[in-house]
Structure formats: C-alpha cells, structure tokens
Amino acid sequence: MLTVNALNHYYGQSHSLRDVSFEAKPAACTCLMGRNGVGKTTLAKCLMGLEQTRSGEMLYRGIALEKLPAERRAQEGIGYVPQGRQIFPLLSVEENIRTGFFAGNSKTHKIPDSIYELFPVLLEMKNRRGGDLSGGQQQQLAMARALVIEPMLLILDEPAEGIQPSIVQEIGNVISMLSQELGISVILIEQKLPFIRKVADSFAIMDRGNIAATGVMSELTEDLVSEYLVV
Ligand SMILES: Nc1ncnc2c1ncn2[C@@H]1O[C@H](COP(=O)(O)OP(=O)(O)OP(=O)(O)O)[C@@H](O)[C@H]1O
Ligand SMILES: [Mg+2]
C-alpha cells in the first residue's frame, strides 16, 4: 500500500528525517513509535504533503506521492487525523464531519450511516458544537471527518493522547475494525504500549529522525522497548 524509501527532510539546517524507510501493508495497522521529538509527526506531514521532503520516495499504490500536491493526496484516498485533533470548536459536530468532504473528490456530500455506526456518540451529539465535546469525543470526531472520503490509507497521529481510558478502548476497537474488516491500511503514530500491542500488526520505531527497528508485533522485544520507548 505504502512504501517509504530513504526519505530525508530538513527544518532549516536541522536534519529531521534521515533516510527513513518503512512499509505499510493493506488491511493492517502499522504503528510508528518513538519518543517525543523523534520525527513521527514530521513523517506524517511529509506523507500528507504538509512538509516538503528533500529526497527519497513515498510510493502509495504505485503513485510517487512526493510529486503530488497535498490536496491530490487526499483525493487519492489518504486520510489524516492530525496530532491534537484540530477540530473546529465553533462548528457543530455534523458540520465538522462535513468539512472532511472538502479533502476528497466525491460528488455526494451525504455523511454515510456507517460513520455514525462507528461513532454512535457523534449521532447523539451531531448538533452540539465541536468545542463542547470531551477530548475523546473530539478525537472520534476527527476520525469521522477523515473517514468521510473513504480512505484506503489512514494516518492517525497519537489518537490516544490525553484521552480517558474508556474512549481509548473504543478508538482501539474502531482501528481494528477499519484495518481488519474494511481492509484500510492504518498508520498509527502512538507511544502507549498496551494500546499499540492491542491494535497494531507491525511496528516501525523512530529514533532521532532514523528508523531504528521494524518488525511484526511479536518481534517488539523488551530490549527494544527499554532502548527506544520507555522514558
Ligand atoms: N515547524 C518546525 N520547525 C522547526 N523544527 C520543528 C518543527 N516541527 C518540529 N520540529 C522539530 O523536529 C523534530 C521532530 O518533531 P516531530 O514533531 O516530528 O516529533 P514527534 O516524534 O512527532 O514528537 P511528539 O511525540 O512530541 O509528537 C523535533 O526536534 C522538533 O522540535
Ligand atoms: Mg508528534
């Protein structure tokens, strides 16, 4: 689904991604892990076209993403839930979900019932303002917004950050369902280990702009965890 090859990115003089290579398979959840500041969000932004890469390639279903403008990447079926959710606090829940249509290229702008089936709380609250929702509900809202374009690849940047445990569990169930039942390739950026172990199929660990290790979940050893993840 996605193959990233020797990707390099700079913020000014600062070399933030160094020859990053990893792969995300269809119908699977690949977790991009690593401590704060190692470059996880930068990599997500490069995939979405919100940051320009210096060199390397990002091949998505045979398309060289680095050659496509940001808006085309969404139209090709890449959904993105940014870190910190970034919903519109003054718009209603329903209006927030609708903003997701602007990213895609579908003609119909009807919110599919399946979105509210995944997140029943959003149906209950569809006329409330986004800013009135709890952090966990806002995260669900940001996911719903990303899902209206029916993405084939979905990038989630720390969806469990600052969220109450019951909703983290619900979000985990939705991620498993999206990858296993709907066949979506999910790239989950995450630091919470129990959550990762529950939903991810494989991992790529980042360290100071590098990929330090990759593998399937059973290959995530305690040594790797203590070297690259535990603070
Ligand atoms: N807009 C920017 N300009 C300059 N440097 C930046 C910018 N954004 C991030 N950085 C730096 O690039 C490095 C990688 O940041 P990034 O946000 O990608 O890390 P991260 O792994 O997502 O961290 P976290 O887990 O805290 O979200 C950090 O050193 C950060 O300070
Ligand atoms: Mg980040």
Q: Write the pLDDT tens digit of every residue in 197-225.
A: 999 999 999 999 999 999 999 999 999 99
10 found inside a domain: yes
Ligand 1 in reach of 41 Cβ (< 6 A): yes
144 found inside a domain: no
- Supply the residue whose CA is at minimum distance from atom 4 of ligand 1: 11
**Is it the case that residue 167 has pLDDT exceeding 70?**
yes
Instruction: Report the side by side order of strands in the sheet with 55-60.
Output: 14-24, 2-11, 55-60, 63-64
95 found inside a domain: no
Ligand 1 in reach of 151 Cβ (< 6 A): no
- Give me the chain's average pLDDT, please: 95
Q: Give the separation between CA 66 and CA 1, rounded to whole angstroms.
A: 15
120 found inside a domain: no
Structural domain harbouring 8: 2-86+152-228
54 found inside a domain: yes
Q: Residue with structure tokens 């669900």?
A: 140
Tell me the CA–centroid distance for residue 210 and ligand 2, in Å. Answer: 15
Structural domains counted in the chain: 1
Mutation pick for ligand 1 pocket among 7, 11, 18 (CB with most ligand atoms within 8 Å)? 11
Give residue 231's pLDDT. Answer: 66
93 found inside a domain: no
Q: Give the separation between CA 59 and CA 77, rounded to whole angstroms.
A: 13
57 found inside a domain: yes
Residue 61 belongs to a domain with what CATH number? 3.40.50.300
Ligand 1 in reach of 11 Cβ (< 6 A): yes
**Is it the case that residue 171 has pLDDT exceeding 70?**
yes
Banded pLDDT at 178 (limits 50, 70, 90): very high
Write the burial class of residue 23 (CB in 10 Å: 0-12 exposed, 13-18 middle, 19+ buried): middle
Ligand 1 in reach of 37 Cβ (< 6 A): yes
Ligand 1 in reach of 44 Cβ (< 6 A): no
Work out the average pLDDT over 144-155. Answer: 96
Mutation pick for ligand 1 pocket among 16, 52, 206, 228 (CB with most ligand atoms within 8 Å)? 16
Read off the pTM: 0.96
Render pLDDT for 89-144 as a digit per residue (tens, 0 to 9): 999 999 999 999 988 777 778 899 999 999 999 999 999 999 999 999 999 999 99
Mutation pick for ligand 1 pocket among 33, 36, 41 (CB with most ligand atoms within 8 Å)? 41
Tell me the CA–centroid distance for residue 11 and ligand 1, in Å. Answer: 9
125 found inside a domain: no
